[in-house]
Structure 1
Amino acid sequence: MRTRHHLFVLYLLFLASRANGATPYEGTSRTTARPSIRADPECKVFPGDTTWPSESEWARLNESIDGVLLKPKPAGSACYPGPDFDQTRCQFLVSGTSSTRFWLDDPLTELAQWTQGSSCVATLTPAGNCTRGGFPEYVVNATSAKHVQGAVNFAREKNIRLVIKNTGHDFGGRSVGAGSLSVWTHWLKRTEFIPSYQIGEYSGMAVRIGSGVEAWEVSNLMAANNISVVAAGCNTVGGTGGWLSTGGHSTVTSTFGLGADQALSLEVVTADGNLVTADPFTNTDLFWAMRGGGGATYGILISAVMKAYPPISISSSSLSLTVSNTGTVRDVETFWQGVAAYYRFAADVLDAGGYGFSYIYPMENNTYRFTTSSSFPGMASTVAHNFMQPLYDTLTRVGISISNPTIGTARPYGSPRGGTGDRPVNTRYRSRLLPRENWEDDDLFNQTMKAIRKAVEGGFENDFYFHGTLTSPTEEVAGWPGSNSAVIPAWRKNRMHAMLMDVQPDGLTAQQAIDRNNLMQGYMSLLRDVSPGAGSYMNEGDPGEPNWQQAFYGANYERLLEIKRKWDPTGVFWAPTTVGSEAWEVQAVDGYPNSQNGRLCRVAG
């Protein structure tokens, strides 16, 4: 309930805004009418434009949101000549942050440097000057829905590009943008265990998780309450936010479904600045879209009520194959037979509710290394050991004599964890969701393995490697209401989420970056050719993905576009490859493909 003091403050803000011919940027109520639609200018306003907000307007916004508006400098500025140069701090950024929270708790940093133009990289050998590049101009350090509402209202009324950043685990440029106002949801850390929750067909335990809560914090919530909650595998990925909005896979996906399948109710700030609830019976179209239909485009997720399950433990078995003169694999052909044996066997792992996590690295002298782990939620270690034995029998038959390893005691899925150790990299994800048909047809499986091999061979000269996560989030395991969501249909038929991890060299010119992008698209086409009509996972996908509407959303795209236009008619929310984003483009000043370092403008025509 609003107090008299609060209403008085609102009144003062209203009078002040009337005096300046503007609107106060306080959070609005659930019943506030949607803003009138006006003719939109060609571009979002940009620093230096006559219509860019004055310092007094930014100050007024800051006052209305409890002083949480930031104008941070890029951390890397400590490494460059100028007033911010600090050799000691630069040395810390380069070599002392790997086991700290520094980069995760930085309001600007996205963990992929290239997306904002690599304009101010922390390095001991800087070239040129540090520029802001694609980093936002201002950041709202949101700790409440009110702060998010204030940012949305200001950006809408002032026609400023708005971006949304959570933990920084974004490899597609959705959390940065030149000349933007960023809503930083990192500190929306509310967690709550709900012993009994009922809505529609669901009756059971649940949790409420703020959008800034990370996977390690979700795990601690599990441990404290002796429950299981589907959470990202990487400790510092957000527990809801973009992870949930675009699908969200994890170790227990084949058992319980995707992150999007867990949501029972969402708390969302929409483009009109209202705070709304979306669930199976309220704002049902928004609820459908925000579970798998992409983040940063329909609204800003404040919190989610998610399913909780009884505690579960996980047994894991690992396998490593390396081609060498003295190892268990002496030649390349035998190596690839061993890799194919594991990937074929992985179908049985998935059907048992399990999960696979693998890498293939090209190494010196045209050799390879393959590493993988298989995880079995709810399976005792001895049962998991016996389950894996047929794989080792097959490996022996192809000439790889390796023992089925003993599996230790199953570990609790929800166990106390910490969340440190992430830093910016120059990796670019490119991915494909390979369907179960590719496993059920011998010819198609062999073609799939040939495509993977040929792509990995390209990594020898071009410094990239292969990453395959194997999981099966079918509609059956998704349950209610998860099976009725905007998750790309390709996830429901998935066997392998196949990725080429492109480690881009530092210092690429724009033309070199374009040439490298064309090269990588050629290798990705090998995987697309063996999976026509499948798709890609946007959270670990390529913002330069050809025909991205189909690749990231499949048959859901047209319906999602209608929902986008309904809830955001004036284009407040924009991010690359999100629904409706084709109406706008970034006029990148650096020429790098998919860079967010430039003005955001409407596409002509």
Structure 2
Amino acid sequence: MRPALPALAGAIFCRGAHGLADAPEEIQLTADIIGDFDAISFASLSPTEATARSPQCKAFPGDPSWPSEDEWSRLNKTLGGALLKPLPPASVCYSTSPNFNAEACRFLVNNGSRTTFYLDDPVTILTQWPQGNTCLLSPNPAGNCTQGGFPAYVVNATTVKHVQAAVNFARNKNIRLVIKNTGHDSVGRSTGAGSLSVWTHYLKGFEFLPEYSQPGGNYHGPAARVGAGLQVWEAFAHAERHNVTLVGASCLTVGSYGGWITGGGHSPLSSKLGLGVDQVLELRVVTADGRYVTADPQTNRDLFFAMRGGGGSTYGIVISAIAKAHPPINLTIASFSFALGNTSSTTPGPSVTVADVDTFWKGFNAVYAFGIPTVDAGGYLWTTARPAGSGRYQMQVQVQMPGLTPAAATAFVQPLIDTLNNLGIPVGITTPTTQVYSSQTGSHGGAPGNGYFASRLFPRAVFENTTLFAAVMTAARATVEAGYTFHGLNMAPTVQAGGYAAPAGLNPVWRDTAMHADVFANVNMGSVTPAEAAAAQRRLNGYMDAIRMATPGGGAYFNECDVLEPDWQTSFFGSNYDRLVRIKRNWDPWHVFWAPTTPGSEAWAVQTPNELPTQNGRLCRV
């Protein structure tokens, strides 16, 4: 049995190629709807008055200032029943929970990860520790399940009016507001104790625009208006129908036009077509005052700048975007792997073993040395090096080449194969796989994990300077030997690749980056004490420091990061940080939007006794 889900509405605007006159995007909050319900009225105080009157802490359940049941009920009536009060999904496994359901528990334990359940759940985020680990899934859980860092209420937003009413209610009632789409969140920016959550997952509209001219910009051509909740696999299905390419996240269940673009957004097409921020031609946004505005190079230019790479959950809530629609393109992938083991393979093949440790690590270095040729050819080098136990290691490699035929991809990769063969690694490749980029499918899967990781952006100079390259390869090797997984993605998302001159709030380091790498810790944050979890983070940070020192001028990816990244302001946003803080203060003097490690977030903190910054606590001024 699958646990029952609330009835959910459909797309935010009509699927077609023409106007949106009757579309739900036009359903907005009006004075007639507000009436005498002042709790959902638009902002009336000046920015100076708003700052002066802002309380020390956000209201919290149980406080005298927390809205009454009658007020929540009236909000729900205004929303047409879109207000949810969901318990944690795993609560069905706890006998002390009012939601206890043994059959539903068995479904989650045995089959939840094989379905879209968690991606379609109103509170789940796919990394659990930021919630506080207060309701972990288990067939025989110990203790009680509590709401922890999950929101108190959720608005299932399917119209602009829903989002406006939620923003206004949260601002006027001094309630913490969070924004959640699909839950692809590793640090807790999409959840928060005692909060009202705006759930944008069902803003799934699509409209193909055969001819679009960007106001005040330089783009003229095909485009698409895409809802913030449209997942990659859904966008690809629309793109296939119209014979175009829409650039999206590598993970097909991500909602590309929300957090992905506001954090930057990389993909296998980054070296060829740029980042997610380079695809955005226009945004429609609900801002902290409750207004619904357009942002493009001509209108609200500072907002358009900030919301492309300047951090999500910070300046406003994306309702929809207009994105470039490119000609269809094939993605051809040449794959192989090699491992360090007890014996060496004698027969060439796509998966081989070597017994000599030095040979393995020389092969490791050779693969990353091939990163620059790959990105210069418009490609994407996907690699994973991981421990395999007992002093053994495995290196997985995918050379992903947009626009090449299998024969051309084979010829392109051959120099790397020759280098590895000459080192004593008899690896080869079979005929590379190829498919139309937008024909990728796969909407299922995905269950909450509980790991911890950090990331680093490697400037191109690291690969071109032999001293820096040797140092960074030594540091990367040390992480794997210490038990971490090193996941590298070589790409070159230059301004030229993006074909887009409008400035963006993205960390400028991205434009000179030749690799983004994640380093994953082998620790389950739900099975250790808070002190042990904090110690694990400090240990990882020690190894990351060696990588940081070997990559001067680098940074870290805002969407994939350690929430305790040192000097995160510079690492995530670089020289744009001060400007982003000014834009944040201008658009949100009421402090409606807050999420960890976003511009201006230093002024607030979640009160929690844990060393790790979970979202299980009251949000207060620092």
Letter of the aligned partner of 2:241 in structure 1?
Answer: A
Aligned to 1:120: 135
| Structure-1 separation of matches of 2:282 and 2:501 | 10
Please tell me whether the aligned partners of residues 117 and 592 of structure 1 are also in contact (alpha carbons under 8 angstroms). Answer: no
Equivalent positions of 1:404-415 (< 5 A) are 404-408=429-433, 410-415=434-439
**Separation in 1, partners of 2:46, 2:397:** 51
C-alpha displacement at 1:418, in angstroms?
3.4
> Contact conserved, 2:312 with 2:598, CA < 8 A, in 1?
yes
C-alpha contact 1:455 1:526 (8 A) present in aligned 2: no
Shift of 1:87: 2.0
Q: Deviations over 1:85-134 (max 9, x none)?
A: 22221121112112211101110100000111111011123122111110
* Letter matched to residue 309 of structure 1: H
1:444-499: per-residue Cα shift (whole Å, max 9, x none)?
A: 1111100000111111xxxx3111111110111112245x1111111111111111
What are the Cα deviations for residues 517-571 of structure 1, in whole angstroms up to 9, with x where unaligned? 1111111111111112310001001111111000100000000000000000121
1:509 partnered with 2:529: yes
1:271 aligns with 2:281: no
1:41 and 1:245 map into 2 onto residues whose CA distance is 28
1:58-91 deviations in Å (ceiling 9; x for gaps): 1111111221000001111111121332222112
Structure 1 segments of 4 or more deviating over 6 A?
A: 6-9, 32-35
- The question of whether the paired residues in 1 share the 8 Å contact of 2:336 and 2:396 is answered with yes
In structure 2, stretches of 5+ residues that fail to align are: 1-20, 346-352
After TM superposition, the structure 1 = structure 2 runs for residues 369-408 of structure 1, keeping only pairs within 5 Å, are 369-408=394-433
2:460 aligned with 1:439: no
Asked whether the equivalents of residues 58 and 619 of structure 2 are also in contact (C-alpha less than 8 Å), the reply is yes
2:55 is aligned with 1:44: no
Q: CA deviation at 1:9?
A: 8.9
Matched to 1:86, the amino acid is N
Deviates more, 1:513-522 or 1:396-405: 396-405
Indicate conservation of the 8 Å contact 1:264/1:481, yes or no. no
Q: Residue by residue, what CA displacement relative to the aligned partner does 1:277-325 show, whole Å, maximum 9, x if unpaired? A: 0000000000001001011000001100011111111111012011122
Q: 5 Å matches for 1:224-303?
A: 224-303=241-320
Inter-partner Cα distance in structure 2 for 1:429 and 1:240? 24
Is contact 2:335–2:429 with CA below 8 Å preserved after alignment?
Answer: no
Query: What's 1:492 paired with?
Result: 511
Match of 1:549 in 2: 569
Residue 386 of structure 1 aligns with an amino acid whose one-letter code is: A
The letter of the residue matching 2:596 is: P
What is the deviation of 1:256?
Answer: 0.3
2:501 and 2:355 map into 1 onto residues whose CA distance is 50
Give ranges in structure 1 of 5+ residues lacking alignment: 18-22
The 3 A distance-change label for structure 1 pair 45 and 318 is same
Deviations 1:227-258 (A, max 9, x none): 01110110100121010001000010110000
TM-score, L = length of structure 1: 0.94
* Number of aligned positions between the proteins: 584
- Answer yes or no: is the 8 Å Cα contact 2:337–2:427 preserved in 1: no
2:495 is aligned to: 475
- Contact 1:208–1:303 at 8 Å: present in 2 too? yes
Tell me whether 1:352 sits opposite 2:377 in the alignment.
Answer: yes
RMSD: 1.9
Deviation of the 1:148 alpha carbon: 0.5
Offset of residue 576 of structure 1: 0.3
Change (3 A) 1:416 1:333: closer
In structure 2, what is the Cα distance between the partners aligned to 1:75 and 1:394?
50
Residue identity in the other structure for 1:84: N
Deviations 1:403-433 (A, max 9, x none): 243224x310111623110110002231000
Q: Matched residues in 2 for 1:74 and 1:144: separation?
A: 25
- Contact kept in structure 2, 1:209 and 1:239, CA below 8 Å: no
Kindly tell me: are residues 495 and 551 of structure 1, through their superposed partners in 2, closer, same or farther at Cα, counting changes over 3 Å?
same
Q: Distance in 2 between matches of 1:9 and 1:218?
A: 31
Aligned pair partner of 1:76 in 65, 72, 90: 90
Q: Distance in 2 between matches of 1:566 and 1:50?
A: 30
